A and B are shown apart, each in its own frame.
Chain A
Amino acid sequence: MADHIIRITDVVGNSLCIASDDGEKVHAKIVGVIKRGDKVQLSFAGIQDLTSAFLNSAIGQLYGEFDEQQLKASLLPPIEASPDDLVLLKRVVERAKEYFKDRKRFDNAEREILGDDNNQG
């Protein structure tokens, strides 16, 4: 299991980490590394602006694709992140965990309802 440092600004191409499209590029890199069974360390060096939209698409959506335990093992503590970056990242991660936990509940509920309808039909 190798460790890969992904420098976010290198992937985005500049210091403005704002748009979710740019977040997607980072997301694709992370997914590639995790699928190979390796570990990811994100570097926040050189970031001028950072939004939750960017982090949601880069990192938040991982919680809908991978098991939380697997992400715990695959995502190493970020480096070169300012306290503000860490606050935003932590918030995005916590919200993503909540959301995908709820989504599973919603999906199950929906399945039950659809199942009932099918039985009646």
Chain B
Amino acid sequence: MSIQLRTVRTGFEGFERILALEAGFESSNDACHEIDMAPVKWLDANMCAPLGAIFHRQIKGGRRIRLLGYAGDPRKIALKNGFLQQFGRDVVKDSNKTTIQYHQFQRQDRDAFETYITTHFRPRSRGLPKMSDLLLRKFRASLFELYGNAIEHSETKLGVFACGQFYPRAHRLDFSIADLGVGMREKVRKHLGRELDAPEAIAWAMEGNTTRTGGRPGGLGLRLIREFIKLNGGRIIVVSNDGYWESVKDTLQSKLFNRPFPGTVVTIEINTADKASYFLKNEISPDDVFK
């Protein structure tokens, strides 16, 4: 019996639909999960990261996945960003240069992730606002940190899944990174020795707290990105276990899902209509102001 997926957009409802699919997998004994993709009229390409993660979990568990009725724009974009490579489809050239390729990384792939980020986040590419060279370097470093967190904090052995997309008409650039680890609630519980619900655990981590011990700085690596996104008018979404946490400008929103995501997904949404230039506070010299 096939399981249906519907349109998936970045946000609470989109994740709910991915979680419904995951629940369908879990309640089925079929050796091959058939997914009816026909009702998918749109799939935000960055959401291929959490989708790929839950597919991978099933495949690792010895199941197969078949996509039925996958057509139109959602299929086109999944061919361009390489998501359908795992189903034996060749990657179609992205001549508009709007995709950030779907990719699965393993623990030892740190260098590959660094190359991936450096290749896709280039000055002014994919609608990226104007940033100083130093800020762009720090911004990328924060994304490496996210990868490090996904690998180390989550204690996952199933890798990290990343994907992004520039939506020129909607003026946004979305990038999602997903892992299949223990999730923030468990990690924070171990560290603090008390129970927080999932949104509280995410909020705790997003305030720059860390469960990592040792000499290295921790936190989610998101402090700089959070500050940038706030000025830029973008959005950050973190999904971990059954928690949903979203930050837009000065507004924080957190909710609970009916069922958990088996890991953590961090999504960064950049407002590409933003014409401002960004630089780090300490890199401005009075001599540069009117240059």
Binding site for B on A (CB under 8 A): 71-72, 75, 77-79, 81, 83-84, 86-87, 89-91, 93-95, 98
Q: Is B1 an interface residue when CB atoms closer than 8 A count as contact? A: no
Specify which chain B residues have a CB less than 8 angstroms from the CB of A81 in the assembled complex: 286
**Shortest Cβ distance from A62 into B: residue:** B290
Q: List 7 A-B contacts (CB under 8 A).
A: A75-B290, A77-B286, A86-B284, A87-B281, A89-B289, A93-B290, A95-B275
| Chain A min CB distance to B232 (Å) | 12
| Chain A min CB distance to B117 (Å) | 25
Specify which chain A residues have a CB less than 8 angstroms from the CB of B285 in the assembled complex: 77, 86
Binding site for A on B (CB under 8 A): 130, 275-277, 279, 281-282, 284-291
**A83 in contact with B286 (CB, 8 Å):** no
- A91 and B290 in contact, given A83-B281, A83-B282, A86-B284 (Cβ under 8 angstroms): no
**A94 in contact with B277 (CB, 8 Å):** yes
Pick the most buried of B276, B277, B282, B288: most chain A CB atoms within 10 A of its CB: B277
A90 to B288, CA, bound (A): 8
Main secondary structure of the interface of A (DSSP, over half): helix
**Shortest Cβ distance from A74 into B: residue:** B290
| Chain A min CB distance to B134 (Å) | 14
Specify which chain A residues have a CB less than 8 angstroms from the CB of B275 in the assembled complex: 95, 98
Specify which chain A residues have a CB less than 8 angstroms from the CB of B290 in the assembled complex: 71-72, 75, 77, 93
**B286 in contact with A79 (CB, 8 Å):** yes
**A91 in contact with B276 (CB, 8 Å):** yes
| Chain B min CB distance to A58 (Å) | 13
The residue that A77 contacts in the complex, of B276, B281, B289, with Cβ under 8 A, is: B289
Specify which chain A residues have a CB less than 8 angstroms from the CB of B281 in the assembled complex: 83-84, 87
Specify which chain B residues have a CB less than 8 angstroms from the CB of A72 in the assembled complex: 290-291
A72 to B288, CA, bound (A): 10
**A86 in contact with B289 (CB, 8 Å):** yes
Specify which chain B residues have a CB less than 8 angstroms from the CB of A90 in the assembled complex: 277, 279, 284, 288-289
**Shortest Cβ distance from B290 into A: residue:** A75
Q: Which 10 A-B pairs have the closest CB atoms?
A: A77-B286, A94-B277, A75-B290, A86-B284, A77-B287, A98-B275, A78-B286, A83-B281, A90-B289, A87-B281
Specify which chain A residues have a CB less than 8 angstroms from the CB of B277 in the assembled complex: 90-91, 94
**A93 in contact with B289 (CB, 8 Å):** yes
**B286 in contact with A87 (CB, 8 Å):** no
| Chain A min CB distance to B229 (Å) | 16
**B276 in contact with A86 (CB, 8 Å):** no
**B276 in contact with A95 (CB, 8 Å):** yes
| Chain B min CB distance to A2 (Å) | 18
**B286 in contact with A94 (CB, 8 Å):** no
A72 to B285, CA, bound (A): 15
| Chain B min CB distance to A91 (Å) | 6
Specify which chain B residues have a CB less than 8 angstroms from the CB of A95 in the assembled complex: 275-276
A75 to B287, CA, bound (A): 10
**Shortest Cβ distance from A87 into B: residue:** B281
A98 to B276, CA, bound (A): 8
| Chain A min CB distance to B62 (Å) | 55
**A78 in contact with B282 (CB, 8 Å):** no
Specify which chain B residues have a CB less than 8 angstroms from the CB of A86 in the assembled complex: 284-286, 289
| Chain A min CB distance to B64 (Å) | 52
Other A-B contacts than A83-B281, A86-B286, A86-B289, 5 sampled, CB-CB below 8 A, are A71-B290, A87-B279, A90-B284, A90-B288, A90-B289
The residue that A78 contacts in the complex, of B130, B279, B289, with Cβ under 8 A, is: B289
Pick the most buried of A72, A79, A93: most chain B CB atoms within 10 A of its CB: A93
| Chain B min CB distance to A89 (Å) | 5
| Chain A min CB distance to B206 (Å) | 24
Pick the most buried of A86, A89, A90, A94: most chain B CB atoms within 10 A of its CB: A90
Specify which chain A residues have a CB less than 8 angstroms from the CB of B286 in the assembled complex: 77-79, 81, 86
**Shortest Cβ distance from A89 into B: residue:** B289
